[in-house]
Chains A and B, each alone.
Chain A
Amino acid sequence: MNRREFLKFAGATSLAAAFPVRSAFAGAQPHVVVVGGGVGGATFAKYLKMADKNIKVTLIEKNPVYIRPYGSSEVLTGHIQMKDLDVTYDALKSRYGVEMLIDTVVGFDPDKKTVSTAGGKSLAYDRLIVSPGIELKYEAIEGYSEAIANTKVPSGWIPGAQTQLLADQIKSIPKGGTFLLVAPPNPYRCPPGPYERSALVAEWFKKHNPTAKVLILDPKDAFVTDTTMQQGWNRLYGYKMPKSFEEKFVEELRKFKVFSAQEGVDALYAKGILKRNSGPSMISWVTGKEGGRVLKLDAANMTVEAENGVHKADVINIVPPMVAGTIAQKMGLTDKSGWCPIKRESFESTVHKDVHVLGDSSIADAMPKSGFSANTQAKVAALAVAASLKGQQPGIPSWENTCYALAGSDYGFFVADVFALKEGKITNVSGHRYLPLNASEAQIRLGAVYQQAWMKSFTDDCFA
């Protein structure tokens, strides 16, 4: 649908859209409208109010309560419940004076600078912020659809009823059964996420169903935290390290002078960096090279056809390919990759003036699609918007990302980056990103404590 058609469609949904009401304070008090009250949108609204409380900020979000995606895999193991994922907008309203509108944005006129909602409202903006998260492309896998995801083969990558369905399914897997996870192609939300989910399910099996198995089918040959995550699988779930990764381990340990040039693969096992597992592994990871790319789902028979053959499972969890949130596409903010190009120092869209795109939907060079990224992008954008409303240029930006990940409930690690603008691109300026492969038991256990602490401190920084 091109923009003109879309506007027509939006107009038809709501009569009011034809008569946008200008903010009473227009001119005197600038109005910033935020679409999507997830990590990016909420953080932006809070930090813009902190930067200048005289700016009127309206946050439009379709759900009255936010269900946080980060940490949602912990529901699958019963470590937390669905209700623990709920985050309210109370503090944004009462403490920061953000105006909340629970409604769905359906229309947009970049010339008149208005957006309209399913509920029939039209809002004029001076700056528009769009942080709608992702849209899952269920249909990219033959035989898969949103309807099947809601009833039989959940995804849960946008948390909600599918997350609960998956949790219930995992508990009812027969003894010795199989949990099959289909990992997505790049780029996708939360790079370590599918593999952390696999580990947490394996940990649950270890306690409640010790002969059950986790099978990961993957179109990729590598993922963020692949060394430290596999090390955790190796130590906890009988996983055998693939040869190519043994060599990667040796290379890294030599680089950091933990290993001498003489020490090789044998030293990995002699020094306890890895365990020699002889029994069956609870986790198998089939990479793209090995034929892990999935072509087809047969939900009726609970089988998945991958390039290396057909796999039967008791529970299938598919993380399908994804693109920018639907509304960002409809607004014409995406390029042919399906994601939204932006100017780095302000996250203003390169397509529409005075419109900024944050979080998963944006194209942010080396920054992964994560909550932490969305949060620091929102802060950079808030300072840039506050400056630009005063007629000033955005300041020098700085971003950070840390994705904490678990291989078990007391086995934590991370990927961490500090980012700066270098030669026009968002670039890592902090070097090595991972917990060292020779990290001590104390570091790994503390990593898990910090992972849990982060869920709270981070939610507070975004929403409270």
Chain B
Amino acid sequence: MKKTLTLIVGGLLAASLGVAQAADHAAAKAEAWTPGALQKALAGMPKGDATRGKTLNTQLMCASCHGDVGLAPTHNWPHTAGQRAEYTYKMLLDYKSGLRNDGERARLMNTVAAIMSEQDMADVAAYYAAQPLPAPLPQSLPADVYAKTDALVRQGDPTRLITPCAACHGLHGQGGFNETPALAGQNPQAFIRTMQAYKDGSRHNDTNKGMAQFAERLTNEEIEHLAAYYASQVAPAK
């Protein structure tokens, strides 16, 4: 896998990164994950050095958008604090290969990830994982909406073949196995944007549509409620 990945990346750089065409270009080249390939890549993740990760977070400008400790300075960006290292690592691989290219904003990530080594990625991932998850926002949903959303999260919706979110993301949104991310305390705007991107197919870096298949079956209203729900969750201490 490592070799294919380098090849893909080589192709991307040769296309001279690009500003205007890079992401589209990379999309054609970047190979989708198979479960086996992903497992191998995660098993091969270098041991992360959180101290070096902190330095990289500043040097590579991550802090400008995601904050000094992974808490985004405004509502426009995703928080990265407290995230599972495997998820952060996989996202950086995907941004670098161009597999995650869900729009003009993702281009910012494609551009910085392009100059990161796998060791760099593991180090920042370790740094974010060492931080607490973002503090919860006050619960803002009316009680009946909250209850309905809670049911969707914990019981899913068999009529629409929606597996409970909690089955994968944890009961409190604290994250699951491997690359399954924490959702607790995530900035609702980033949550909504990424769910919409799964839904309209512009975010397609998940393995075998492991996440997109659920997003596709949710209404826009449900997505907004889920965003508010998860923003207010308190995950158990790690």
- Interface residues, chain A, with chain B CB atoms under 8 Å away: 79-80, 207, 409-410, 412, 440-443, 445-446, 448-449, 451-453
Contact = CB atoms under 8 A, between A and B. Distances in A.
B147 interface: no
B104 interface: yes
B214 to A, nearest CB: 31
Contact of B111 (A80, A440, A449): A449
A446 B18 contact: no
Given A440-B61, A453-B104, A410 B19 contact: yes
Interface in B6-27: 16-20
B108 interface: yes
28 contacts: A207-B16, A409-B16, A410-B16, A410-B17, A410-B18, A410-B19, A440-B59, A440-B61, A441-B115, A442-B59, A442-B60, A442-B61, A442-B111, A442-B112, A443-B61, A445-B17, A445-B111, A445-B112, A445-B114, A445-B115, A446-B61, A446-B111, A448-B19, A449-B19, A449-B107, A449-B108, A452-B20, A453-B104
Given A440-B59, A440-B61, A452 B115 contact: no
Contacts of A443: 61
B20 to A, nearest CB: 5
| Cβ-closest 10 pairs across A and B | A442-B61, A452-B19, A410-B17, A442-B60, A445-B111, A448-B19, A449-B111, A442-B112, A409-B19, A452-B20
Contacts of A409: 16-19
Contacts of B20: 79-80, 452
Interface in B91-129: 104, 107-108, 111-112, 114-115
Nearest to A443: B61
Interface in B110-159: 111-112, 114-115
Interface string B193-217: 0000000000000000000000000
Contacts of A449: 19, 107-108, 111
A338 to B, nearest CB: 36
Contacts of B19: 409-410, 412, 448-449, 451-452
A263 B107 CA distance: 37
A282 B16 CA distance: 19
Contacts of A410: 16-19, 111
A453 B112 CA distance: 16
Q: Is the interface of B mostly helix, strand, loop or mixed?
A: loop
A267 B60 CA distance: 23
Contacts of B115: 441-442, 445
Interface of B: 16-20, 59-61, 104, 107-108, 111-112, 114-115
B112 A446 contact: yes
Nearest to A74: B20
A37 to B, nearest CB: 26
B60 A440 contact: yes
B96 to A, nearest CB: 13
A448 B16 CA distance: 12
Nearest to A445: B111
A449 B20 CA distance: 8
Contacts of A80: 20
Given A445-B114, A446-B111, 17 more contacts: A80-B20, A409-B17, A409-B18, A409-B19, A410-B19, A412-B19, A440-B60, A440-B61, A442-B112, A445-B111, A445-B115, A446-B108, A446-B112, A449-B19, A449-B108, A451-B19, A452-B20
Contacts of A440: 59-61
A412 to B, nearest CB: 8
Most B CB contacts (10 A, CB to CB) among A412, A446, A449 go to: A449
A452 B111 CA distance: 13
A409 B21 CA distance: 10
Most B CB contacts (10 A, CB to CB) among A79, A441, A445 go to: A445
A441 B18 CA distance: 15
A147 B60 CA distance: 51
Nearest to B110: A449
A269 B114 CA distance: 25
Contacts of B104: 453
A442 B114 CA distance: 10
Contacts of B16: 207, 409-410
Contacts of B114: 445
A449 to B, nearest CB: 5
Contacts of B18: 409-410
